[in-house]
């Protein structure tokens, strides 16, 4: 019974945070751009999300006749499933997790690499030039950034001596991993932004060039799933950064651990939104060059140095 409650709680937190983020992002962006943003519906415009969702439900859900129907229908579901599955291994608090897997980090990496399919297939099945270009950019970008996303986490794994998220949090009792693993954190953060294809790395859906990229043909709630999936991805990456580098639910005891975890997660969500407000989009070849020539060697060096120091200290 408790188990079911935890699953329901995790799902509720993840989905409501992701939906609420739509409002948070619009308000924060307008704050930084010196305007008001949505403030008409409900207190502070909070009901805007509900209004948008209702609108999405009532829209015509058009499936283009020239599309590959089964694949077209499947693609948004893959995105939601892979991201929501990953929330299962994240510890929200000392006893507040669905499943403490001994391959937790690998589970996350596997799911994020399967998440690429949703975008690639969505773009391909739309049978549309812009979607196809978006899907090709997305697959190249995500394949590249996955490589050192995994490598940058291996330093943390070596220090904690485990792939399990819970033991990694426990291993940070004497100090957060952000200090010894600073370069790992930098690489992981940039790879995380690219993996969720957020601005500034949103070239798969660059509005200025590709209409809406891979989800140009999607409408109604299927588009809504891509949309919420993006915010779920932000929440997920922020939660993982908070867990792996900033001590997860550890914190001074005047607040409950779950609260510390959520606080750290929200801080990184804020950073994600600030990035969107402040940085221009790089060109496609600049992105690949930056990935392979700067971040990849950095991740490898970080791995090498961490290993050497750990063996030296033994």
Partner 1 sequence: MAISGRNAIHSLLFLILSLLSVSVIFYLLDAPFIAALEVIIYAGAIMVLFIFVTMMLNIGMEGRTEKKWLRPRMWIIPSLLAAVLLADFILAITYIPGSPPVDQAILPKQVGISLFSTYLLAVEIAAILLMAGVIGAYHLGSQKKKITHRFLIKN
Q: Which of 157, 137, 144, 148 is nearest to 186 (CA)?
A: 148
Q: How far is the C-alpha of 249 from the C-alpha of 242, rounded, in Å?
A: 8
Q: How far is the CB of 11 from partner 1 (least distance, A)?
A: 22
Q: How far is the CB of 114 from partner 1 (least distance, A)?
A: 6
Which residues lie below 8 Å from residue 218, measured CB to CB, with a gap of 6+?
76, 122, 126, 226
Q: Is 299 in the site for partner 1 (CB under 8 A)?
A: no
Q: Is 107 in the site for partner 1 (CB under 8 A)?
A: yes
Give me the sign of the Cα torsion angle 151, 155, 158, 161: negative
Structure tokens at 73: 């229908």
Number of residues that bind partner 1 (CB under 8 A): 27
Nearer to partner 1, 150 or 247 (CB): 150
Nearer to partner 1, 24 or 136 (CB): 136
Q: How far is the C-alpha of 295 from the C-alpha of 141, rounded, in Å?
A: 13
Q: Is 137 left (phi over 0), alpha (psi -120 to 50) or beta?
A: alpha
Q: Is 136 in the site for partner 1 (CB under 8 A)?
A: yes
Q: Is 304 in the site for partner 1 (CB under 8 A)?
A: no
Select from 132-140, 194-202, 251-259, 296-304 the region that touches partner 1 (CB under 8 A). Answer: 132-140
| Tokens 């509005």, residue located | 207
Count CB-CB contacts under 10 A for residue 222: 21
Show the site string, 63-102: x = touches partner 1 by CB under 8 A, - = not: -----x-xx-----------------------------xx
Q: Is 203 in the site for partner 1 (CB under 8 A)?
A: no
Q: Which residues bind partner 1 (CB under 8 A)?
A: 68, 70-71, 101-103, 106-107, 109-110, 113-114, 116-117, 120-121, 124, 132, 135-136, 139-140, 142-143, 146, 150, 163
């Amino acid at each position: 019974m408790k188990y079911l409650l935890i699953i329901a709680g995790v799902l509720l937190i993840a989905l409501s945070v992701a939906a609420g983020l739509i409002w948070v992002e619009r308000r924060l962006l307008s704050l930084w751009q010196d305007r008001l943003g949505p403030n008409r519906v409900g207190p502070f415009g909070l009901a805007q999300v509900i209004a948008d969702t209702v609108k999405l439900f009532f829209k015509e859900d058009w499936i283009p006749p020239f599309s590959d129907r089964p694949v077209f229908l499947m693609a948004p579901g893959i995105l939601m499933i892979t991201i929501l599955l990953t929330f299962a291994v994240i510890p929200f608090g000392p006893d507040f997790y669905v499943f403490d897997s001994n391959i937790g980090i690998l589970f996350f990496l596997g799911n994020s690499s399967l998440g690429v399919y949703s975008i690639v297939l969505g773009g391909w099945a739309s049978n549309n030039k812009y979607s196809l270009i978006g899907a090709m950019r997305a697959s190249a970008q995500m394949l590249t950034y996955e490589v050192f996303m995994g490598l940058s986490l291996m330093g943390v794994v070596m220090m904690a001596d485990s792939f399990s998220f819970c033991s990694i949090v426990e291993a940070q009792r004497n100090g957060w991993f952000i200090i010894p693993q600073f370069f790992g954190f930098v690489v992981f953060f940039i790879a995380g932004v690219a993996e969720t294809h957020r601005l500034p790395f949103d070239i798969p859906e660059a509005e200025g060039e590709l209409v809406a990229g891979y989800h140009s043909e999607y409408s109604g709630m299927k588009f809504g799933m891509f949309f919420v999936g993006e915010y779920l991805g932000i929440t997920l990456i922020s939660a993982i950064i908070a867990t792996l580098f900033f001590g997860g639910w550890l914190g001074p005891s005047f607040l409950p651990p779950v609260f510390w975890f959520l606080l750290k997660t929200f801080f990184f969500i804020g950073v994600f939104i600030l990035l969107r407000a402040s940085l221009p989009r790089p060109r496609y070849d600049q992105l690949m060059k930056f990935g392979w020539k700067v971040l990849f060697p950095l991740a490898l060096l970080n791995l090498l140095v961490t290993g050497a120091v750990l063996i030296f200290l033994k």
